Structures are given as structure tokens and as C-alpha cells.
Structure 1
Amino acid sequence: MKKYFLLFLSLGILLVSCKKSDDDLTPPDGLDPDSAEVEVQDFMWKAMNFWYFWQEDVPNLADDKFPNTTDGIADYTEFLSSESDPGAFFDNKLLFTEDRFSFYSDDYRELTQAFAGISKSNGLEFGLVKFSDSDDVFGYVWYIIPNSDAATKDISRGDLFTGVDGQTLNVNNYIELLFGDNDTYTLNMADIANDQITPNDKEVTLTKFEGLVENPVFLSKIFDIGGEKIGYLVYNRFTNEFDEDLNDVFGEFKADGVTNLILDLRYNPGGSVNSARLLSSMVYGTNKDELFLKQRWNSKIQGQLSDSQLTDYFAEKTSDGSSINTLNLSKVYIIATNSSASASELVINGLAPYVDVVHIGETTRGKNEFSLTMVDDFDGSYIYNAERENKINPDNQWAIQPLVGRNENADGFSDYTSGLVPDIELEEDLENLGAWGDPNEPLLARAIQEITGTTGKRGFEVKMPAHIMTNSKMFSVQKDNMFLDKPMQMGNIPQ
């Protein structure tokens, strides 16, 4: 696992190195509550008061909300005690009304492992759809993670299920049945034909196991169609532990003379900002003088960061020092849907000033903020650092993942909270989901048609669109988070 997992060699070093400076980024000391029963809420408030992107817009986080006086401390303690559940306190008392993505975890170890692609899972990734005429819900399989329990069972992409353990799924029970404490459950499968979904007698029993590692580089292929050499990559999450695998795929594309790229991010909810930068460099180029993104923080943080700390340029090497295999493309075809978020959108937006991005699919989720993992480590300015785990308050294992800033592209654009609209709109068809890597799979076929002007498909009519309500990834620990993990050299840090 990389030592700079979230922001370890960037702000993590900056915070420790600069504590003696008048311009440091150390949260203010003092204002300790007079009750030990609220130490989790105390950590949450202090971290959010300093780092939260919308701190100035949340009255409960105002700097003058609780003066450091006897009465102020009493009011502060009472406020922290207003919710006995720290999670409810975070959600109900600290978040800006427009914040859809900040979240918490009662176990920071589980959260940080999840960001490394390690989780407790049965390996089934799926979308959930509500029936139009009732509150019942059905699921359809997106893909199976290799080497998982699901990979050993008779279930595959496009399969549908309407129940769990004999209970029909609905809007009130699907969370408990699919994402509750039960490690093993049995899916009650269904058939689809003529716009109708009908339960059948097939059952599939799945078990979640600890330590499943998902390589997000799911599939790569090279097509030679109509004289065009087309690279195709299905990439399912931005996980920096697999940046070398990603670069290797582009090395294969480059060696085989690929001149067109279809990047499939349809189920990619995001992840590492640096992985997004590296992927974009593999697509476009390695000119370190060309701006990929610029960060925008709250007013407490923004003015204290140098330009080199706020900006990221295209990369010529991976974090492990390998030369980037770039295709130097001026045009790229990206498949993205409503399930594509954060770092997926960052790639589209970051490439847009330089590359003709042809977005095929649906409007994306609209998550344009980045976050940090924060734990109860005041001397580390609450930023999680794997090398400081022994400094974390042993009585408080909670973590928060608040949104702390936005990434603007080279044109200064970051306003896509409503999502990025496709150039070519095409939804997935539940009756014709298609097989991964098959040139007749509808979204892939539409991208190939755009490149070559010809296709094996006669049309792209969607008989039963997959209007998803939510998906399995939204119930994973990491959800659709975009986190900073940018390494920085000590010379860039003001002393």
C-alpha cells in the first residue's frame, strides 16, 4: 500500500512541517468540552470547522459560534451532546444543505482499506431499479469481481433478481436484505422478456468474505475495424494501487498502434485524484507544463497554499517512477452514465480543454468536490496518515470523509453539480445489456460506429431502459468518493 495513501506526502507533510509558522495549517487549540462522552463529536466539529469546504455557510460551524469562555464551553458541550449518535450529529448538525457526498465511518481502518480496493464483499456489482407501478425493486448484474465468491457461482452480467431469501425486494427492505449484517444471502432470480420481469425458480447463494481485492482494470481489448485500430478499456474505480496495471494496458495499446480509444467508465464512481491525472496523461500527453486541474478550498485554507500545492499538471511518470505510456490523442470516446462520478467526471472535465471528448451514455452523477479522510489526531491536523496511526486517539476510531474543495480544469470550469451531459445519449437496455467486450454490446457498438461510421448493429433502440435508483457501490465503504493523494516534494512546502 502506498505511503501517501490519501494526502500523506502532500498536506500531511505540510501540516507537520509548518506548525511553527504564522501561516500554518494547524487548527486552533482550545475550546475543549467538559464531558468525555462527546469526544467523537468534538473531533468532528473541530475538523469540519477548519477544513470543510462550506464551513462559512454552516452556522453551527461558525468561528464565533462558541467563545472560549466558561459559558461558551458549556454551550459547546451542550451542542455536542445534542445527538448521542456521532453519525447523526455529523449528518444533522454539521453538513451544508447542498452537500450530497460527505460521510462518516465508525472504523477508520475499514475506510482506508476500502480506498485501497480491499473490502468485505461477495464480488457482485449491480444496479437497483424501482418498478414503475409499485414500490417493489429489482436488481440487474453489472459485473462480477474476479476471484470472488460470486465468480464461482452461476450468475453473470445481465442476470436479474427480484428477491432475497424468499422476500420480494422493495424500497423499504432492500437495504437490510442486500447490505445488512447478513454475510450470506440467497438471490431469487428472474427472467426478462417483452418488457416484463418475471420471477423464476433459480436461486443463487452468495457469501461476503473479508479482504477481497478488486483490480479496477477490468477489461482491455484491441479492435481492428474498418481500418481503425481501436483500444477499449473498462475501468471500474480509480484505485492508486493499480496505477501500474493501468499504465501497462496503455503500453499494450501503444505497442499495437492504437489510434482510437474507448474508455468505459459507465460504472466507475471515482476515487483517487492522482489516478485520474495519470489516466488523463495516458490519453492525452505528458507535458508537465500543461495544467490538468487547480484546487479551490475554503478561505481558511486557500490563501495559505502555494500555487504548486494548488495545481496539478499532466504527468510523465507514475508514482512508482514508471514512464507514462501515452497515446497522445486529440480525441477520445468516453462511455459514462449516471453511475459515473467524481474522478470519472474529473477525467472528462480535465481533458476537455485539450481533447475532443465524445461522451456516450447518460448525464453523469455531478460530483465535483474532493475529500480527505480525517481522524482524531489533532497534532496531524486531523488528516489521516498511515505513519501516524499510533497518534490517533485510541478511544476514538471514527473517521469522517468531508468534502474540502473543488477541482477546476484549465479553463477554470468546475460547475457540473447537475452532471456532465452526453454528446450521444444512449441508456443501457435491460433486455439487451450485452456482454463485456462484445463489439455488439450497445454502448460499445455506438462508440465504434462513431469512430468507423459503420456498425454491426442495425439500430440502437432501447426497449427497457435501466433507470437505476441506486447501486451496490453506493453501499460500499468508499461509495462515490473522490480523494486527494497527491505526493509533493519538500521543496514545495513553505517552512
Structure 2
Amino acid sequence: MKKHFTFQLLFLLAVSVFILSCIRNDDEGAPVFPEGSTESVNLWVQDSMKRYYYWAEQMPAKPDYHLPVKDFFKNLLSAQDRFSFAVDTQDPSSYPRSVRNMYGFDYAVIQLANGNVVTTVKLVMKNSPAFNSGLERGMMITKINGTAITAANAEELTSSIKDKTVIELRVGNWKNGAVTDEKNITVYYGYSFEQPLESKIFEKNGKKTGYLYIYDFPDGITSSLNQKFAAFKAAGIQELILDLRYNYGGSVSSAAALCSMIPSGISSSSPFIIYKGNKNGGEVKRTFARQIAYDPAALDFNALRTNALNLNKVYILTSRSTASASEIVINNLKPYMQVIQVGDVTLGKDMAGFMVEDKRKPKKISWQLHPVIYKVFNADGEGSYNNGISPQIAASEYAALPLLPLGDSQETLIAEAMNNIYSKSAGKNALDGSIKILFQSDTPSAAIGK
């Protein structure tokens, strides 16, 4: 089981950091504070960040050790850093909160060509509180806790429901350009379980195309991936569509395992990824086999390759919620095959890290740090996509309402990929400029009207 935190963007490298320094700094003249004090915790935070943080050299030389720990941590961060965070394991309120990780769904507020503003449910996680309450992708939300959603209040409404443990939604279906059959749904705060891989096989004109939706990349996913690819291989698929549109990332090792099963011509010694850290971290290169092996629960490279599809091209569906390990899949397959990206520009997290915590027994510091530690590059040294990776086929999944289920061959992004596969051209309405995305619940910092 795994908690789904919004922008859980620092994916694990399957290592754990053993930090002993808690109340001392070895630098000459460094302060010493009583063990257990806020200042001593902040000194540990500073020592840890000096050692691992990618932008360590930009950290302030004389920070204020008397600040609350979370504020102290934020003051150490570079202006370029959108992703590092810290949590206190003894304080649940310190963890990132989002509609998705609290209730198991996400929505988008969009402006239609006629100027009307509507809100559509774009994601409902399986076996989540939202799923169990009857919420479905494609439903329209007209009110949240009795308040009608507008372009002006969407962000404020989203922020407010993150402080609640139960929310009331007024929802309906989209028919003939209007919301019909409205009803109320109550969604309680709760846990969402691991999301299953979902696959389909489409066939047209004698050509078979495999479709695989991957919600995230947890450690231990390789057996499930192997089963899906074994089915694809047995069916003789000739094309592959990977749906990573809502995939925030996860384990780099799991991403490497997926990548190992798609192209032809790779071996256990083929380079997969390059990590570049600060002066302490230096540069680290890993092959497919070595990166996969960092997940102790993973099948090894050779076992995975028995079901490899040996393709020379792959289609990947993306959105602004495609991040981290998902972006590594896109970028790191490029040296080995043609990658045709369909959808929107990705988030732009070209970096990685691992959790830093006190591993002493008994533990004396309850804080966990999730700092950016490395910039990541593919086998050709290509990376630096902090502004996101742009698609070859630009398309909006909101071009046609209601949103169809993921895996439906007529769903907008899937249909765009299929058009390219079977007719070698993108659809005419792939990117409808008259439809504007005003707000998305999984990107609350995005500007309204973007």
C-alpha cells in the first residue's frame, strides 16, 4: 500500500540515508544547541542539506536557527527549486495535501468556445473515497460544498476542501452541451490503495496496438509490468501506447524496468541514466540492469527482457501532471527508439532525490527531508527539461465532452495516437484553441486563465 501525496515528486532510488549528525556541525565556529531543541533539529537539517542538496552552494551562510523547522527548511531552498519538501512524521498536518491524495479524484475547470465555464472530473482513483462514493470520470461538478464553481473561485475552493474531512459535491452528466441529471455526492477523506495497471488491445486493418495506463511507478511494479507485456507479446502487438497523463512519478527503478521492455537492441550493460549532483554527489551513471536492481522486489533485467516487445517506436500520452519518473521514461527512451508524445507539455521535473532521515534507534529526530539531489539525463546526456517536455502531437483531452473512460478507443488522446498509427496523421481538432483550461485541481499553483 502507498499513500498518494500531491506532487510526490522526489522519487526513491531505493536507498536510505543514515544520518548520525544531530546536534553538531563540524565546521569551525558552528553553533551547538541542546539536543531535542528546534535549533538542534535545524542544525541537522542544514548539515544534511549541505551534504546532499543539489543547490547546496546557494544556501544562506548564516540562517536563523530559531525558526520553526519547516520555515527554516524553506529558507534554505534555491529560488529554482519547486519540488523539495520536508515533513514531520509525528505531525500529519505537515504532509502535502491535495484533492487527489485526500479524496482520490481530480478535476479541471474549463472555458468552452461559447464562453461558458464548466468543471469536469478527469480522474477517479480505483478503490478511493471518491470511487466508493460513485464519482466517475466525465461527470460534471456544479457545486462544491454548496458553492458554484467559477474561474474566479476555483483555486480558493480547492484550497478550502483540503482542510476538511468530508465534502459535498453537486454533480451531473454532460448531454447536448448542458449538465443534466444532477445529484449530490458525499466524499469522505480516506485512503486510496495502489492503482492497478490497465491495458487494452486495439485491432484495426490487421494491426494490433497495445494500450497501457500507468498511474504511478511504485517499487515492486515489475511483476505486474511483466504480466502485461507477456500478454502484449503473446497477442503480437505491433504498436504501443503508454498513458502517463496523470503519472506523477515514483521509483526510477520501476521506470527503468518499463523502459527495458519496449525497445530492441539493448542489453544489461546499455546505459540508462546519468545523475549529476553537487560537489559531494558528483556524476553517477547507471545501466538498465543496475538501475532496476536498486528495487529489491524487482525482476531482473534478463527476466524482463524475455517479454520485451522490441519496438522501434512508442506513443506516450502526457499532460501537465506527467512528472518525474514519467518524464524519465520519455527522455530516456529517446536514445533507443522513436518517442511520439501526444497531449500537453509535461510538468518539468528533470531531477531526482531520496529521503533523508535519522536512522538511529531510537530515532531522535522525527523529520524527513525530501530534497532535490540530482539533475537527470539520458544515455546521450540530454536533459534540462525544467520547462517540461513538449509533445510532437499537441492535443487536449478536453476537446470533446464528456470525457470518456481511460482505455476507450474514442477518448481524445488515445484517438489522436490511433489516428497517427493507422492513418499517419493527427486529428484536425487535436488542439482546439477555443477551449481554455482555467484551473486544474492537481496544479493549484497554475495561473488562472493559462
TM-score above 0.5: yes
Indicate whether 1:203 and 2:184 are aligned. Answer: yes
CA distance in 1, matches of 2:90, 2:395: 39
* Residue identity matched to 1:87: K
Residue 406 of structure 2: which of 415, 430, 436 is its match? 436
- Is residue 377–residue 383 contact of structure 2 (8 Å, CA) maintained in 1? yes
Query: Using a 3 Å threshold, how does the CA distance of structure 1 residues 290 and 95 change in structure 2: closer, same or farther?
Result: same
Using the size of structure 2 for normalisation, the TM-score is 0.80
Correspondence for 2:73? 90
The percent of aligned pairs where both chains have the same amino acid is 29
User: Residues 70-149 of structure 1 correspond to what in structure 2 (within 5 A)?
Assistant: 79-81=64-66, 83=67, 85-91=68-74, 93-107=75-89, 121-123=102-104, 125-129=105-109, 139-149=119-129
1:280 shift after superposition: 0.5
Classify 1:446/1:389 alpha carbon distance in 2 versus 1 (closer, same or farther; 3 Å).
farther
How far apart in 1 are the matches of 2:17 and 2:388? 31
Counterpart check, 1:370 vs 2:370: no
Does the C-alpha gap of structure 1 residues 106 and 138 become closer, same or farther in structure 2, counting only changes over 3 Å?
farther
2:279 partner letter: S
User: Which ranges of structure 1 fall in alignment gaps of 5 or more residues?
Assistant: 20-26, 67-75, 304-308, 378-387, 476-495
Q: 1:458 to 1:129 in 2, by over 3 A?
A: closer
Q: Whole-Å Cα distance in 1 between the matches of residues 431 and 110 of structure 2?
A: 21
The 1-side partners of 2:199 and 2:80 are apart by: 38
Question: Are 2:156 and 1:173 equivalent residues in the alignment?
Answer: yes
Q: Note closer, same or farther for the CA distance 1:473–1:283 as it changes in structure 2 (3 Å cut).
A: farther
Q: Which residue of structure 2 lines up, in the alignment, with residue 34 of structure 1?
A: 33
Output the amino acid matched with 1:173. Answer: E
Q: CA deviation at 1:417?
A: 1.0
Per the alignment, residue 486 of structure 1 pairs with none
**Alpha carbons of structure 1 residues 247 and 121: separation in structure 2 relative to 1, 3 Å:** farther
Ranges in structure 2 where 5+ consecutive residues have no aligned partner: 3-10, 446-450
In the alignment, structure 1 residue 310 sits paired with structure 2 residue 309? no
Among residues 363, 371, 395, which one is paired with 1:392 in the alignment? 363
Counterpart in the other structure of 2:385? 416
Deviation of residue 231 (structure 1)?
0.4
Distance across 1 between alignment mates of 2:51 and 2:157 = 37
Q: 1:371 to 1:43 in 2, by over 3 A?
A: same
CA distance in 2, matches of 1:233, 1:466: 28
Q: Which has the higher helix share?
A: 1
**In the alignment, is the contact (CA less than 8 A) between 2:173 and 2:182 conserved in 1?**
no
The 3-state SS of whatever aligns with 1:155 is coil
Matches within 5 A, 1:214-253: 214-217=194-197, 219-253=198-232
Displacement of 1:179: 1.5
Matches of 1:368 and 1:97, distance apart in 2: 16
Report the Cα distance in structure 2 between the residues aligned to 1:141 and 1:401, rounded to whole angstroms: 30
C-alpha distance in 2 between matches for 1:45 and 1:356: 43
Q: In structure 2, do the counterparts of structure 1 residues 33 and 128 end up closer, same or farther at CA, with 3 Å as the change threshold?
A: farther
Equivalent of 1:407 in 362, 365, 376 = 376
Shift of 1:28: 4.7
Q: What is the total number of aligned residue pairs between the two structures?
A: 414
**Contact kept in structure 1, 2:221 and 2:298, CA below 8 Å:** no
Pairing 1:320–2:295 present = no
- Which residue of 2 is the match for residue 50 of structure 1? 51
Matched, 1:356 2:331: no
Note if 1:213 corresponds to 2:193. Answer: yes
Greater displacement, 157-166 / 357-366: 157-166
1:79-108 CA distance string (max 9 Å, x none): 211x2x3222222x1110111111121227
CA apart distance, 1:261:
0.2
Please give the per-residue CA displacement for 1:187-226, whole angstroms capped at 9, x wherever unaligned.
1225657877x6985211111224x312252x10111112
Tell me the CA shift for residue 342 of structure 1. 1.0
Please give the alpha-carbon distance, in whole angstroms, between the structure 1 residues aligned to 2:432 and 2:55: 41
Say which is worse superposed, 450-459 or 254-263, in terms of deviation. Answer: 450-459
After superposition, the Cα gap between the structure-2 partners of 1:200 and 1:48, relative to the gap in structure 1 and judged at 3 Å, is: farther
Distance 1:86 1:440, change over 3 A: same
For residues 469-492 of structure 1, the C-alpha deviation after alignment (integer angstroms, 9 at most, x for no partner) is 3434879xxxxxxxxxxxxxxxxx
Closer/same/farther in 2, CA of residues 425 and 174 from structure 1, 3 Å limit: same
Read off the aligned partner of 1:179 and give its amino acid letter. K
Matched letter for residue 190 of structure 2 = F
The aligned residue for residue 188 of structure 1 is 170
State the Cα distance separating 1:235 from its structure 2 match.
0.7
Equivalent pair of 1:138/1:162 in contact (CA under 8 Å): yes
Report what 1:71 is aligned to: none
Q: 1:137 to 1:38 in 2, by over 3 A?
A: farther
Q: Distance in 2 between matches of 1:468 and 1:280?
A: 34
CA RMSD of aligned residues (A): 3.6
| TM superposition shift of 1:326 | 1.2
> 2:443, 2:227 → 1: CA distance?
26
CA displacement at 1:411 relative to structure 2: 0.9
